[in-house]
Amino acid sequence: MKRYISVLAIFFLLLFSCGSDRELDRTIFIPDENDYRLPAYTEWGYNSFGAEIERDYFLASHLIVPCKIMYDVDNGKLTFSLHGVFRYDRDLSILFIFPFESISDFSELLNLNDVEIDLTDSDCIVQMIHDNGEPITINVLNGTLHFKRAQLLRIDERVNRVILSGVFDLRFIQNLFPVNISNGRFDMGVTQNVFHIQ
């Protein structure tokens, strides 16, 4: 069932943005009440994400488009990628690649509502890219990616974006030792500009 963002949320977004798509695309950081270094979990399309990687943080940046999504028709897989900074000075991207039903338009990302992905599934791949280098496939020991809510935002009766909000965590082996990514959360406003079909 398609979910639509509440009237109050639309009013808030329009009031904040003054009607500008550019403003709606901005990254907004609202601190978490338990850890001010992480963004709070929200479902407003703030184009923000954050997670702890061991004792440091992976966060969205105002200078980097925080999320891109690609659907590979031949393989029937969706790539959900988060792009930001780690240790405040290094670019880092995490790509979650998993099987997904065929889609032809970004608005069909509504089908991700309340979908939980087991990242240890043999059909799932998790990759990391450091400082725009080559993707490195990581050996996931355990982890999940949960799209808790998918909402459609319309402005003036036209589809503007799909808001994807959720959480993630994973544990993997790197240089012979386990690494933990915990307390991951994301809140993305996905438009046609960041969605691609290949």
pLDDT of residue 139: 93
How many percent of the chain have pLDDT more than 90? 78
pLDDT of residue 20: 60
* Dihedral (Cα; 24, 91, 88, 175), 10-degree rounding: 140
Residue spans of the domains in the chain: they are: 7-197
pLDDT of residue 33: 96
Q: What is the pLDDT of residues 152-174, one digit of tens each?
A: 999 888 889 999 999 999 999 98
Band of the pLDDT at 7, cuts 50, 70, 90?
Answer: very low
The residues facing 142 across adjacent strands are 171
Amino acid letter for position 39: P
pLDDT of residue 5: 44
Q: What is the pLDDT of residues 104-134, one digit of tens each?
A: 999 999 999 999 999 999 999 999 999 988 9
Rounded-to-integer distance, Cα 38 and Cα 186, Å: 11
Rounded-to-integer distance, Cα 138 and Cα 128, Å: 7
Mean pLDDT taken over the chain: 89
